[in-house]
Structure 1
Amino acid sequence: MYRVLKRKMLETLRAWRASKGAECLLIKGARQVGKTYIIAEFGRLDYENFVSIDFIESPELKEVFDGPLDADTIYRQISLVVPGARFVPGKTLLFLDEIQECPAARAALKYLALDGRCDVVASGSLLGIRFKEEAAKASVPVGYEREIVMGPLDFEEYLWARGYDAESIEGLRGFFESRAPVPSAVNHKMMQMLREYLAIGGMPAVVSAFMESNSFAIAHDEQRSLLASYLDDVARYAEAPERVRARACFESLPRQLAKENTKFQYSVVESRGTARKFGSSVDWLVGAGMVRRCQCVTAPQFPLAAYEDGSKFRLYAADTGVLMAMYGFEMLEAVVNNKLAGPMKGGLYENLIACMLAAKGVPLRYWRSQKGDREIEFVTDSSDASVVPVEVKASRGSTVSLNDMLERPDVNLGYKLIDGNVGQDDKKVTLPLYMAMFLG
């Protein structure tokens, strides 16, 4: 039995219930990030009645949505086929799990939202992929569903799992906000926890296995199982021409991250590989939630979206634990004991920071000069209509690119993330890598 993990999504669900109008909630995300568990927990804790339909576990229940999609018919049909299902107005949560398997159920969300007698939450994996294929079969209920993306445990949630409370984390935030150095012993411990998080990742099954066993070997077995299930998804759901190509793109990630220039290169996937051959495969992986795309911008200027170069991007694994399974067990020991060096170490920590920023809802973008002699790993828009550069240093290297950018009058602040402590020099704020959890 896996340990119960505290997730921020539970409070997000409660906030939705308190503020929603005529809308259902759709939670998207990669497979096995914990969507089903947290929604079931929400239903159990916050409602008198909880009715759940899993379209993969019980495919025959798709027949409920074969006929009329009005709320009365749907609730009547469910009550006939789901034992014990009761729909008490205002006190019932209906959960439609793996909704990508039943496009008609997605279309029915509009009528369930308008009816309003029960709260309705749906979740699904591979939604961007499956609904592109099924678009002609059913309509998407625009305006009647609120979409939320759920990912693996972020670093703060991982610290909760490791026994740190909210007060401890707020104490760290105080050092971030005051720009004061963290006590050496605390800083050392937090860097140790960050390396552990990098090695374990944030997938609930892996985190739970590690918490229960305190064994990296057992955690790695879970990581390998997750990797196998992801590759199985590629084989099962990708169109026939994409299966081999999408798998090849995904399996190239370790080699992509080991390069000095971590721009995704099709030639690393296959000799003489091209965007024409592999571009749609990359899109498939992004849509499946297996990878995160970090888009290149031609100019580090606000608004960054206006300067994206669609032909240049980086790909990062959506979870570093799955990435560990691709490297092998020896990598966990090297990461935890801080034995890595060279471009591989830099690429791995870039992947970690990409995951941490994405967990905060920060769009992933980077900048590289036309000459290729300057680059910033991440650039973000600021609320004051300026750009904030974020440079990642796995050790304590120089920051020529960041220093140059901070000389610009339209850049008011920049962050240097290092294996070190907090400091500030004019517009440059140096932070220990784990404080990326406070950015965004």
Structure 2
Amino acid sequence: MERTCMAELVAWKGRSGRKPLIVKGARQTGKTWLVKEFGRRQFADTVTIDFMLDESYKSLFAQDLDPRRIITQIELRTGRRIDPEDTLLFFDEIQEAPRGLTSLKYFCEQAPEYHVVAAGSYMGLGLRREGESYPVGKVDMLTFYPLTFEEFVRAAAGDVLADALEAGDMALLDSVADVIERHLKDYMVIGGMPEVVAEFVASGDYAECRRLQGDILQAYDADFSKHAPVRLLERMRMAWRSIPSQLAHENKKFVYGAVRPGARARDFEEALQWLEDYGVVYKVPRVAALRLPLGGYEDLSAFKLFCCDLGLLGAMAGLPETAVIDGSRVFTEFKGALTEQYVLQEYVAQGEQPVYWSNDSGSAEIDFALTSSRGIIPVEVKAGENLRSKSLRVACEKFCIDRAVRTSLSPYRDDGWLINVPLWAVMHSKRFALSQ
């Protein structure tokens, strides 16, 4: 599978001020495969040290953290020369060797000529242990996410359609909207976890893809047990398992009492932070006003909580995989939550940090809001056929916003203040909003 992150890895290699690179992301997002593929394409050799597979490698950091001694010991253990120009040194599952994470500081300062990439899960990388420090300012960072819709199309349908989707020529794309929408229905069920996508491309078996999603969810649960404090474990699981039911409500604001009757914020705040640190949830905060900077208007007591992948969300919710063949059902299941999840994933993968807005009375709500060079772009997500945009109009008038986005299954249309963007082209919504 071709991932857009490959271009970012290639750019890192050619950067004059290159530092050791930490690649992070939730488990099963394809970090290990992509780094090895990067090494295969860009280097004469890749030396991989997997600290989970072989714990004896942790001894590399038992003495000092001198990078040249570490390089020499790796050469002796593997029998392979590490050339600064032609070898990629890959520390996989780096969270299992915290002193290895600290050593990246010294690779940056004392041996910057080496190409060093470290990969690990969010949770392990976020742990702080006594006597060990995170190499702040001494590493470059790259976050991996599940496959975007464009990447899914590239894997499932090939480069021709994916390239057209990436270019975003709506006059061309509208003529094949029915084809793209069929792929979007598949994506809504399959999601973007690479193993699941690979199985779907190979077999087209929805049931087998659901089984693999179940395996990933079980692996996440096992990782909770491994990394999280025992006192938080059950609360993490309760909050995690509540996500589908939370999103199934008309008002998708996270409600602590829906996790456990009588629960309050203080009971679950730390557990939710651990889920965020692990990368399995996205928190979308509420803002009291659609004004810049959005962070200055954040309501710390209200937020929506989404899963990291819409395929996993569907599996957690028990959505039948056959929903993909039943008209537009997959877009409207549990109050359109899958559709909002999809839109959020597309934005997050682009580096956006969406928020949502609602007025004090609760009579108007904007699903997402983005920051742009021209101000705030409010976004309304429509899963069904009802395309009234009362809340968008209220928000635009209240905050003097001249361009808004509504994304739905309807064709592209620019009405001046309101742009309707097909769901399958939502990755271009900011560009369209700024085009006037």
1:284 and 2:274 equivalent? yes
Letter paired with 2:267: K
Q: 1:351: how far off?
A: 1.0
Alignment of 1:351-370 (within 5 A): 351-370=341-360
> CA distance change for structure 1 residues 368 and 143 in 2, over 3 Å: closer, same or farther?
same
Give the 5 Å matches for 1:231-310. Answer: 231-310=221-300
Give the conservation status (yes or no) of the 8 Å contact 2:257–2:264. Answer: yes
Aligned 1:372-411 pairs, distance under 5 A = 372-384=362-374, 386-397=375-386, 398-407=388-397, 410-411=400-401
Count of paired positions: 427
The Cα of 1:363 is off from its aligned counterpart by: 0.2
Find the counterpart in structure 2 of residue 11 from structure 1.
Answer: 7
RMSD: 1.8
String of CA shifts for 1:66-94, please: whole Å, max 9, x gaps.
1111121111121222x232111211111
Matching residue within 99, 112, 123 for 1:104:
99
Find the partner of 1:144 among 113, 118, 138. 138
Question: How many angstroms apart in 2 are the aligned matches of 1:199 and 1:383?
Answer: 34
**CA separation of 1:342 and 1:23: change in aligned 2, threshold 3 A:** closer
Task: Note if contact 2:90-2:118 (Cα within 8 Å) is conserved in structure 1.
Answer: yes
What is the distance in 2 between the residues matched to 1:274 and 1:205? 37
Q: TM-score, normalised by structure 1?
A: 0.93
Unaligned regions of 5+ residues in structure 1, if any?
A: none
1:5-404 to 2 correspondences below 5 Å:
5-81=1-77, 83-114=78-109, 115-127=111-123, 131-134=126-129, 136-165=130-159, 169-170=163-164, 173-176=167-170, 180=171, 182-183=173-174, 186-328=176-318, 330-337=319-326, 338-339=328-329, 344-384=334-374, 386-397=375-386, 398-404=388-394
One-letter amino acid of the counterpart of residue 256, structure 1: Q
| Deviation of 1:399 (Å) | 1.0
Determine the C-alpha separation between the residues in 1 that align with 2:67 and 2:225: 36
- Secondary structure of 1:162's counterpart equals helix
* SS of equivalent residue, structure 1 residue 183: helix
Aligned position for 2:409: 419
The percent identity for this pair of structures is 35
The one-letter amino acid of 1:151's match is Y
CA offsets, 1:342-380, max 9 Å, x none? 671422211111111111111021001111111000001
- For 2:215, the aligned partner's letter is S
* Conserved 8 A contact 1:374-1:401: yes
TM-score of the pair, normalised by structure 2: 0.93
How many angstroms apart in 2 are the aligned matches of 1:161 and 1:116? 36
Alignment partners' CA distance in 2, 1:106 and 1:152 = 24
**In the aligned structure 1, how far is the partner of 2:272 from the partner of 2:424?**
29
Give the Å deviation of 1:137: 2.6
**Residue type at the aligned position of 2:179:** K
**Matched residues in 2 for 1:125 and 1:260: separation?**
33
The answer to whether the 8 A contact 2:154-2:162 is kept is no
> Letter of the aligned partner of 1:243 in structure 2?
L
Offset of residue 167 of structure 1: 6.2
